[in-house]
Amino acid sequence: MTRLLEVRGLSRSFGALKAVDDNTFHVDEGEVVSIIGPNGSGKTTTINLLSGELAPDSGSIRFRGEDVAGRSPDAMARRGVRRTFQNGRVFGNATVAENVLLGQVPLARAATPLPALRGIPVLRWVALIAEAALATVGTPGLRREKREADERVTAQLQRFSTRLLPRREHPAWTLSYANRRRTEIARALASAPGLLLLDEPTAGMNTAETKEVVRQLLDLKAEGQTMVIVEHKLELVMSVSDRVIVMDGGRVIADGPPAAVQNDDRVIEAYLGK
Ligand code: ADP
């Protein structure tokens, strides 16, 4: 198996609090790894370190052999590390298709002068939307790029969730909560990421919606999509994961196949038995 992600001694504190404390783990190509643990155990901080949202205090993160610790979210996205957020982040006034299109933008935007603006946080998303819009006017080359991008959006929606297809041109704010979250995942998938990081993909979803997401995650897994999933719902974790990493108080306290982790005494004490 090819090692995709190699994390060593990863640490990040907030003041005196060690949110992520000297953790070492890896993710192989095609693996689905879940991170579980009680609230406040450092799961989201770990995802934020892997996606570049946070820089580690110490430790190394190697992605495809390259040390990427402390790189920006943009730099990580360009390398193929994509994520979704705990509370779901979509652009409400943009359509489903535009949201997914934005997920493809880092692939195409190198040709525009706008990337300079992206260094300024407030302008970052304005620049991204403008870049996507730029592809709708202008030269035949840009028009072709737009057409190809549209085709990729359709393929992406077909691949991930046919529920989104009839809503392709609907503004995201008109969607149900579950469909907004699906849109976010479709956007993260739009550039065929090497590593997909999902922070509680089913938070706030009912049982039927959760089951559908489980099916979709299993489909992605069957296609060989590498994923790291932070999740509370153990049924989901146990059914989709090749491996489960258990965190408690910032430390990784167990790392192994779902069945083994479920029977680990420290895990039962820290998490499962509560
Ligand atoms: P989990 O995802 O496992 O619930 P988090 O990674 O969100 O845990 O948080 C780990 C610890 O770090 C918690 O005690 C949390 O309060 C703290 N923490 C997380 N982010 C910040 C931040 N930006 N500033 C200060 N403390 C933070």
pLDDT of residue 63 exceeding 80: yes
pTM of model > 0.90: no
For the segment 195-218, the average pLDDT, to the nearest whole number, is 92
Q: What is the pLDDT of residues 134-165, one digit of tens each?
A: 655 566 776 777 778 788 888 888 877 778 88
CB atoms within 10 A of CB 263: 12
- Tokens at residue 179, please? 């469909």
Half-sphere exposure of 257 (CA within 13 A, CB side): 2
Distance 83 CA to ligand 1 centre (A): 18
Position 123 scores a pLDDT of 57
Distance 161 CA to ligand 1 centre (A): 32
Distance 126 CA to ligand 1 centre (A): 29
Residue 66 near residue 138 (C-beta atoms within 8 A): no
Report the atom number in ligand 1 closest to the C-alpha of 54. 23
Pocket test for ligand 1, best of 17, 35, 198, 247 (most atoms within 8 A of CB): 17
- Tokens at residue 8, please? 């060593």
CATH number for the domain formed by residue range(s) 1-80+193-274? 3.40.50.300
Distance 45 CA to ligand 1 centre (A): 6
Average model confidence (pLDDT) for the chain?
Answer: 85
Residues near ligand 1 with C-beta < 6 Å? Answer: 14, 17, 19, 37, 39-45
Take atom 19 of ligand 1 and give the residue whose Cα is closest.
45
Take atom 27 of ligand 1 and give the residue whose Cα is closest.
14
Helix (H, G, I), strand (E, B) or coil at 155: helix
Distance 248 CA to ligand 1 centre (A): 12
Percent of the chain with pLDDT over 70: 85
Each domain of the chain, given as residue ranges in start order, spans 1-80+193-274, 91-181
Distance 36 CA to ligand 1 centre (A): 14
Residue 37 near residue 43 (C-beta atoms within 8 A): yes
Q: Say which range, 44-53, 67-76, 170-179, 260-269, has the weakest mean pLDDT.
A: 260-269
Distance 2 CA to ligand 1 centre (A): 31
Report the atom number in ligand 1 closest to the C-alpha of 48. 6
- Tokens at residue 105, please? 């933008």
Take atom 14 of ligand 1 and give the residue whose Cα is closest.
40
Report the atom number in ligand 1 closest to the C-alpha of 46. 6
CB atoms within 10 A of CB 151: 10
pLDDT of residue 266 exceeding 70: yes
Position 113 scores a pLDDT of 45
Residue 34 near residue 231 (C-beta atoms within 8 A): yes
pLDDT band per the 50, 70, 90 thresholds, residue 218: very high
pLDDT of residue 49 exceeding 70: yes
